[in-house]
Amino acid sequence: MQHNKISGVLMVLAFLLAGCGEEPVPEPQYLSANKTQVTFDATAGEQVVQITANCNWVVSETWDTSVGKWFTVTPIMGQGNGTLTISVQANAGADRMADITVSSAEKNVLITITQKEQEVLIRSVSQVRALYKGSDVTITDKIVVRATVISNYMHIDDGGLNNYTSMKAIVVSDGEAGIQLFCAENNTAFKQGDKVEIQLTGQTLSVYNNGPLQVNGIPLANITKVGTETLVAKEISAAQLVTGEYESMYVAIPSVQVTDEDLNKSFVIGSAHTSIGMIAQTEETFDIFSSRYSSFKDVTVPSGSGVIKGIASVYDGRYQISFAQISDWEGLTGERFYTSSTFTLFTTEKEVSGESGQFTVSIAGNVDWTVTSTDPEGFAVSPSSGSGSTPVTVTYNQNPSLSESRTADIIFSTTDAAIAQQTLTLHVTQSPFEALVSDPVRSWIELPKVLPEDDFAYISHMTTLKGKSVRNYSFWYDTQNRLAPWVAYPLYQDIMGNGSRTDAWDYNPKVPKRYQPSLFYSFGGSTYDRGHQLPSADRLYSYDVNASTFYFTNLTAQNASLNQNLWTRLEINVRDWARTCDTLYVVTGAMIRTQEDQTIEYISDNDGNQVAVPRIYYKVLLKYNAGQAENGGYSSIAFWYENRAYNTEYPVAADAKNVKEVETLTGFDFFHNLPDDIEEAVEASCTPKDWGLN
């Protein structure tokens, strides 16, 4: 332990000698304290020590400098009898000690100060929730909560349902109350049923947008697993749910059903977070909330009545549940409840894609019925009869037309005399079968040579810049492996712009969805990012052009460390190089095989489709300067990196290649639209120092 000794400046010797022994026959000195051990608890406080003396005395202090000074002593000198006041600050750490020495010319008295660490306070979830009084509050006491993880918001690849807007969220409950933890990082450690101890010192309780109370930004390191237990839902009524008293608890709510308006919908509609309306027999309403990332997003909501389970919550004043387990909706199997004979089809129009598929439809009712199709060959129905909300499956085959929609009517009929309108019709429209059609190949400088090949397509995107139609980017697409072997584009200041990133993850409208990966959220685990081939930062001049960089056809499974470090630095260099020339022509590519290894590694997208993982990424760059005489103003450089983490963060001269080397590696013919003599000279040479690389 390091120490620091402080004594009362220059006063000591002269003061002590002057105060004692002036008489010819000096009185014997005495110096003592009424206590030599002073102990404090963890809170701030003060105590006094009585000094008994017949001489002058001074105080010196010794403490652990690595901890810092946490106490004060007053006064630091005295004569004769006196009182020392010792004050300490609140202790948020371990036990700590310091020494005070009271000294005269002949005597020393050692007083030891001890302050205990803060006592660990085991609190229930209800007690923690009670600390919140309507505005953010930071917990200063050393509080530990013991609870069980009831949510399963982890990524699908980690066994989770992924049914929340963030994988940073965890919901815990001790059986009497619950609370949400919004962690500082994605949860990959704590699974449903894990019993945990949560350290809350220094953490903040907050509510966002009238949502659930949460511990905001808590590190995963503050959570410790101490065991496991089986989840048991607490049965409550819908009336109890909407009081909010069961927020963040796993509950079972009987006598409920989906509202008529939301019958036949899936838990997630399109690519949006979705709330499905529920109604109780006692008429209270609430929602089932599911994120667009949910593993069960395509499941049709059960049409029956019964018990539903989930984690109780609230958002913007609307009460809701989110599922904890796939079995949470299995209790909705009973007859729908109505006060009179009912026969209703809330949805009367249905659109489906040109590919084959199926969907379910249910009557909101409590009577017997039959169902037929006007085109049983193209749109078959099963079963052909039923009662109440029994679901009917409509199975349709591929539309034989590439240009014309086709239609059919699904007709429900009842003979129940209590029903006035005894026939209900669902009109189905099927789009033309969407074919993948390559665009005409232009003679643009950046384009590699495009050769016809099965399962591949050439696609180009245009945009408007300063009132003119200009090319945005082009790519060569591998439909079987769901990625582009190359993306080519021009780069210059105007098209880069200076706007904002959109994060508009979506399908490419020019490629049928069946050929694209579904990547509304990233690949499973932390190994791969959704790596852009055309970087978002290369297209910031408008919302639309930036959104086009988030098309799934532009994304690949890129090693997260490579994407966030070395590759990002290369992309920054590319933009800097583009600012110093008239135009920089860029080809970015991803190789899923090498000459040495022809096997392909795959990873699942958000829908479980197999997507090829690149082994190598490359960039081929052609710079054009109008004022340069050599090689018609053109010069080139190229790079390639394995799809892995690198220790280095910045591209260096040793990483640079000439274009011919990358052509040999990939088999592509780059910049073939240049005059042959210029192409040959430019592609064979590479001078890294001309690109600022050492």
pLDDT per residue as tens digits for the range 244-300: 999 999 999 999 999 999 999 999 987 789 999 999 999 999 999 999 889 898 899
From 334, 356, 384, the end of a domain falls on 334
Residues 110, 152 within the same domain: no
353/430 Cα distance (integer angstroms): 6
Structure tokens at 170: 């965890």
Query: Which pLDDT score, from 0 to 100, does residue 24 have?
Result: 62
- For the cut 60, the answer to whether the pLDDT of residue 5 exceeds it is no
In which band, very low, low, confident or very high, does the pLDDT at 499 lie, cut at 50, 70 and 90? Answer: confident
Neighbours of 382 (CB within 10 A): 11
Query: Which pLDDT score, from 0 to 100, does residue 627 have?
Result: 86
For 512-531, what is the mean pLDDT? 88
173/249 Cα distance (integer angstroms): 6
- The 3-state DSSP class for residue 219 equals coil
CATH number of the domain to which 224 belongs: 2.40.50.140
From 92, 115, 138, the end of a domain falls on 115
Query: Which pLDDT score, from 0 to 100, does residue 269 have?
Result: 87
CA 575, chain centre distance (Å): 28
CATH number of the domain to which 92 belongs: 2.60.40.10
- For the cut 80, the answer to whether the pLDDT of residue 524 exceeds it is no
pLDDT digits (tens, 9 = 90+) for 360-404: 999 999 999 999 999 999 999 999 999 999 999 999 999 999 989
Residues 507, 611 within the same domain: yes
Q: How far is CA 529 from CA 13, 180, 378, 613, 641, in A?
A: 71, 27, 41, 11, 16
Asked, for residue 444, whether it belongs to a domain, the answer is no
Percentage of the chain beyond pLDDT 90 is: 82
**Predicted model pTM:** 0.64
pLDDT digits (tens, 9 = 90+) for 72-110: 999 999 999 999 999 999 887 889 999 999 999 999 999
Residues 292, 388 within the same domain: no
What is the average pLDDT score of the chain? 92
Between residues 158 and 7, which one has the greater pLDDT?
158
Query: Which pLDDT score, from 0 to 100, does residue 285 have?
Result: 96
pLDDT digits (tens, 9 = 90+) for 162-206: 899 888 999 999 999 999 999 999 998 999 999 999 999 999 999
Residues 40, 25 within the same domain: yes
Q: In the chain, what is the greatest distance between 2 CA atoms, to the nearest angstrom?
A: 130
- For the cut 60, the answer to whether the pLDDT of residue 577 exceeds it is yes
Domain count of the chain?
5
CATH number of the domain to which 679 belongs: 3.40.570.10
Nearest to 30 by CA among 6, 53, 3: 53
Residues 678, 628 within the same domain: yes
Beta bridge partners of 303: none
From 182, 211, 228, the end of a domain falls on 228
Query: Which pLDDT score, from 0 to 100, does residue 526 have?
Result: 67
Q: How far is CA 25 from CA 20, 22, 54, 562, in A?
A: 11, 8, 15, 86
Amino acid at 101: T
Residues 651, 509 within the same domain: yes
- For the cut 50, the answer to whether the pLDDT of residue 516 exceeds it is yes
In which band, very low, low, confident or very high, does the pLDDT at 14 lie, cut at 50, 70 and 90? Answer: very low
Structure tokens at 384: 């052909």
193/225 Cα distance (integer angstroms): 10
55/81 Cα distance (integer angstroms): 9
Phi, psi angles (nearest 5°) of residue 345 = -120, 105
- For the cut 60, the answer to whether the pLDDT of residue 15 exceeds it is no
Residues 518, 646 within the same domain: yes
Residues 563, 645 within the same domain: yes
- The 3-state DSSP class for residue 191 equals coil
Phi-psi map region of 159: left, alpha, beta (phi>0 left; psi -120 to 50 alpha): left
Query: Which pLDDT score, from 0 to 100, does residue 629 have?
Result: 87
For 342-349, what is the mean pLDDT? 91
Amino acid at 24: P
In which band, very low, low, confident or very high, does the pLDDT at 26 lie, cut at 50, 70 and 90? Answer: confident
Residue 498: exposure state from Cβ atoms within 10 A (0-12, 13-18, ≥19): exposed
Nearest to 379 by CA among 403, 402, 361, 404: 361
Contacts of residue 454, defined as CB under 8 A and 6 or more positions apart, other chains included, come to none
Residues 530, 622 within the same domain: yes
DSSP-H helix ranges across 641-675:
659-666
Query: Which pLDDT score, from 0 to 100, does residue 159 have?
Result: 82
Asked, for residue 156, whether it belongs to a domain, the answer is yes
Asked, for residue 446, whether it belongs to a domain, the answer is no
For 429-440, what is the mean pLDDT? 93
Which residue range(s) make up the domain with 488? 456-691
In which band, very low, low, confident or very high, does the pLDDT at 6 lie, cut at 50, 70 and 90? Answer: very low
Strand order in the sheet with 379-382: 357-361, 392-396, 379-382
Asked, for residue 440, whether it belongs to a domain, the answer is no
- For the cut 80, the answer to whether the pLDDT of residue 680 exceeds it is yes
Q: What angle do CA 194, 197, 199 make, to 5 degrees?
A: 140
Asked, for residue 441, whether it belongs to a domain, the answer is no
pLDDT digits (tens, 9 = 90+) for 453-475: 989 999 999 999 988 999 999 99
Residues 660, 567 within the same domain: yes
- For the cut 50, the answer to whether the pLDDT of residue 13 exceeds it is no
Asked, for residue 422, whether it belongs to a domain, the answer is yes
- For the cut 90, the answer to whether the pLDDT of residue 37 exceeds it is yes
Query: Which pLDDT score, from 0 to 100, does residue 208 have?
Result: 82
In which band, very low, low, confident or very high, does the pLDDT at 525 lie, cut at 50, 70 and 90? Answer: low
Residues 629, 608 within the same domain: yes
103/61 Cα distance (integer angstroms): 11
Nearest to 679 by CA among 655, 658, 656: 658
In which band, very low, low, confident or very high, does the pLDDT at 158 lie, cut at 50, 70 and 90? Answer: confident
In which band, very low, low, confident or very high, does the pLDDT at 11 lie, cut at 50, 70 and 90? Answer: very low
Residues 222, 238 within the same domain: no
CA 129, chain centre distance (Å): 25
